[in-house]
Amino acid sequence: MKKFNKNKKPKSQRGAPSRRKSKFSDREKQHKKEIPKQTAPDFEDMRLNRYVAHCGICSRRKADEYIKAGKVQVNGETVIEPGHRVTPKDKVQYEGKYIRPERNLVYILMNKPKNYITTTSDERGRKTVMDIVEHKVKERIFPVGRLDRATMGLLLLTNDGDLAKKLSHPSHEIQKIYHIVLDKDVEEEHLQQIAEGITLDDGKAPVDSVYYYNNKDLNECLIEVHIGRNRIVRRIFEHFGYVVKKLDRVYYAGLTKKDLPRGWFRHLTEQEIIMLKHFK
């Protein structure tokens, strides 16, 4: 299988979809097996943005935005400084509701189906990924990063704001692989240009590698990226006039979709949690 990569040896097809039929005889066990025990540390005082992030509302980066927007109150007073220190005695509210850091840390991997919004709520009443875990996870959690409504595949949900910040920060270059199906066969010349890095309206779009999914279906590709700009994979192929029929994230930060059917989720194992926390 020919791969296109300008500066380094192609990576293996980690997490690539398999032609072999998967077996899901233990689907129910994925939801019922024992969850690794992870607890948040006690604190004497903490920066407000970290406090909000540990409440299972959002990542610490997003908490900065909420605080600066005046959505957070401490002891009845609006605080717009993310570095404001709070103690266990302080009463903190987010949009008028009292919040406290979650004691139990939860890490969930979901195989997101199409037509679900990657947010904790939607003003227009559309289905969100939170509907899938509703009544099944008692802790308040939030999705890490985003997949657009039409994109399927791996999505991490947690209440660990520190980990969410780490995985979302561009400096960590978290690896992602997408399986993409297009409306027509992809020209080799276009794959080579994508691998070398094309320029879109919002700047350069670096790609780790891109290659045909197999030697038969030339309208299907696998693309490895670490950038997380909005709709980046779709926009790369649309730049050459292709219409994206299907987009599926099959690999994320060392995690794959093995034995995880569409629309299902599972708790990460202790080993997987350790792996994520030790990403450099």
- 79: CB partners within 8 A, 6+ apart: 48, 67, 72, 73
Alpha carbons 260 and 265: distance in angstroms, whole number: 7
N- to C-terminal Cα distance for the chain? Answer: 31
Backbone angle region of 128, left / alpha / beta, with phi > 0 → left and psi within -120 to 50 → alpha = beta
Active-site residue identified among 148, 183, 185, 217: 148
148 is catalytic: yes
Which residues are annotated as catalytic? 148
